[in-house]
Amino acid sequence: DAEITQSPRHKITETGRQVTLACHQTWNHNNMFWYRQDLGHGLRLIHYSYGVQDTNKGEVSDGYSVSRSNTEDLPLTLESAASSQTSVYFCASSESINGVGKAFFGQGTRLTVV
Amino acid sequence: EDKVVQSPLSLVVHEGDTVTLNCSYEVTNFRSLLWYKQEKKAPTFLFMLTSSGIEKKSGRLSSILDKKELFSILNITATQTGDSAVYLCAVPNNAGNMLTFGGGTRLMVKP
């Protein structure tokens, strides 16, 4: 069955370190998204991509970057981790236009920056 | 800028109660409104609503949309402890390929 997987599921890192969270989907979806979820803020969009070599900034993109070298993967990099980036991160993918209702989410990565 | 507001923020009920969750929205070009249920892990899709007044139903859950007043409600009847979750409402952007989420309603159903 097609799926979307994130790794690691949990990570603790130190302030200032570079961290990369992986997201891999086998739906062959063009659209991929990274969200962070914090109490009181719901899901906020960090970066998104509509296809290979395409990346776009979302609502809370400062301190994060993504790259899209193939359809399946959209890794999220924290260049220099900060305590404010402690959060749960969700990756999602969806089909193209009008398919967004069927967005599929990964299981999440809980990141703690100490 | 698209905006989605959910209420209440949280809700505690007892098994067997009926609950109504609210979602109001402002979008540039309305395409649809979506409801997700999030337990401990990833959000899972519940409903997609596109037309006013047509109820979508799945077991004890139902949802309806009012495009004139720009809101939707999610009803859960005869609640069970397994309904405890965060319920998220979302709307796609103008291009239809990105979602804006509300802050969610945290529902706790006590035995």
How many CB pairs below 8 A link A and B?
Answer: 55
CA B37/CA B85 separation, integer angstroms: 6
**Collapsing DSSP states into helix, strand and coil, what is residue A100?**
helix
Judged on CB neighbours under 10 Å (0-12, 13-18, 19+), B95 is middle
**Collapsing DSSP states into helix, strand and coil, what is residue A98?**
coil
Residue A99 pLDDT exceeds 60: no
- Contact between residue B32 and residue A101 where contact means Cβ atoms under 8 Å apart: yes
CA B39/CA B54 separation, integer angstroms: 27
Of A33, A41, A106, the CB nearest to B42: A106
State the nearest Cα–Cα gap between B41 and chain A, in angstroms. Answer: 5
CA A89/CA A37 separation, integer angstroms: 6
State the nearest Cα–Cα gap between B94 and chain A, in angstroms. Answer: 10
| pLDDT tens per residue, range A39-63 | 777 889 899 998 999 999 988 999 9
Chain A contacts in chain B segment 64-93 (CB below 8 A): 88, 90, 92
| pLDDT tens per residue, range B64-94 | 999 899 999 999 999 999 999 999 999 988 7
- Which residues in B lie closer than 8 A to residue A89 (C-beta atoms)? none
The residues, any chain, with a CB within 8 Å of residue A45's CB and separated by 6 or more, are A33, A34, A35, A58, A59, A60, B98, B99, B100
